[in-house]
Amino acid sequence: MYAITRPELKVLLAEQSGPHISIFLPTLRAGRERRQGRLLLKQLLREMKGSPTLEQLALAEQETLLEPVQALLEERPLWEHPANGLAILRSPNVFRLYRLPYGPQARVIIGEHFFLKPLLPLAGNDERFYILALSQNHIRLLACTRYEEQKVHLPKAVPKNLARVLAHKRRENDLQYHSGTAGSGRVSGGQAMIFHGQGVGTDTIKDDILSYFQQINHGLHAVLHDQKAPLVLAAVDYLQPLYQEANTYPFLLEQGLAGNPDKLSDEELRELAWPLVEPSMLQEQKAAAAAYQELAGTERTSQDLGEIARAASTGRVMSLFIASDEELWGIFDATTMTLDVHSPRRVGDEELLDRMAAQVLLHDGAVYAVRHAEIPGGALAAAIFRY
């Protein structure tokens, strides 16, 4: 599986060898029908084999091209534990499989380039964020987007267990404690460690926890040192200010998730963290929309599709809004710089909004794939030009 990021999209856009096959299909995460995705892919494969584009290839070339896609039919875990949808991209040099948090329209598009528009809202603009879940027993670091979460392997420098560290300190300092079946930390033998008296509230224990958090913070540098993504801390109340004190990562949010994170799944943590990070995640998009409104009516903005297509192909577009819920088929002639829109779609057409977005990304511009109603001015596309 690959992550859907802007650098990943640029790799796909730079691929020149064709044909490029883009497959999207919905899958179900539960119920008796959850293996229907496999049957749907089998059906789409049959349709592909009759494609005029593929029929131009020798039979051996067709088989080589479709072989890794065909092999997915035998990947039982893929169909028994699916996401809500799948995207499969295949060219002679590239094979990519992406889990999708939504069920896309089942379709195959074969052309000169990959069809990436359905992936653009997931790639976002610096949409990734992290969750650091701390308890006495466990440490989890999750890399998340709005719809997905994935555990991050922690470096060896990150201590694994606060309870053991405190137990060691307790033995060293002869702290008073008692054992019981309930509490917030587990030690060897399955007993729960509860500090009291000269316990959690004392300066000694606070210093020990602070030292422990400093070790964690230092160990996380290997993962976060070149990141600008928000970091959300999930921990019980009394640990929150101590980790804030130990932290040196500049993008740790002041507000965290309070409570014992051991009681929550990775998915539940992501869903709870999203409202905390959403304002900063959408800040760039909101700033671009505000900039468009400020520049509207000047030569720095346009909603004219032909003008935007020409500007995108020459690297003039700084920010582009496109409708994620609409399609525009036709041909853009890069030689004459003319745009020909067709309705209905004709053989050889490309999705023009997708093509504009691809050109903007290749020239290091920002693309925001949003609902039609959310585009400034209400057009199918809106652009801010660099000059």
pLDDT digits (tens, 9 = 90+) for 101-111: 788 999 999 99
Give the number of other Cβ atoms within 10 Å of residue 113's Cβ.
Answer: 20
Q: Higher-confidence residue: 72 or 168?
A: 72
Q: How confident is the model at residue 354 (pLDDT cuts 50, 70, 90)?
A: very high
Burial 53-88 (b: 16+ CB within 10 A, else e): bbeeeeeeebeebbeebeebeeeeebbeebbbbbbb
What pLDDT does residue 271 have?
94
- CA-CA distance, 134 to 236, in Å (whole number)? 8
Check residue 176 and give its pLDDT: 47
Of 48, 46, 28, 25, nearest in space to 107 by CA: 25
pLDDT at 193: 40
Domains, the chain, ordered by start: 6-123 (3.30.960.10), 129-281 (3.30.420), 283-385 (3.30.1330.30)
- Of 102-106, 197-201, 333-337, 382-386, where does mean pLDDT reach its minimum? 197-201
| Percent of the chain's residues with pLDDT above 90 | 57
Least confident of 106-120, 136-150, 162-176, 289-303: 162-176
At 189, the pLDDT band (50, 70, 90 cuts) reads very low
Question: For residue 123, is pLDDT > 50?
Answer: yes
pLDDT, tens digit, 9 for 90 and up, residues 206-249:
888 898 899 999 999 888 877 788 999 999 999 999 999 999 99
pLDDT for the residue 152 = 87
> Which candidate, 375, 264, 254, places its Cα nearest to that of 322?
375
Question: Which tokens hold the place of 266?
Answer: 């990775």
Beta strands 20-26 and 85-90: pairing type? antiparallel
**pLDDT over 50 at 184, yes or no:** no
Integer Cα distance of 225 and 218 in angstroms: 10
Please give the pLDDT value at position 168. Answer: 64
Nearest-5° Cα angle at 304, 301 to 309: 90
Least confident of 48-52, 72-76, 113-117, 325-329: 48-52
Mean pLDDT of 188-216: 63
- DSSP state letter for 104: P
Average pLDDT over residues 258-275: 95
Checking if the pLDDT of 183 tops 70, the result is: no
**pTM score, whole prediction:** 0.68
pLDDT of residue 350: 94
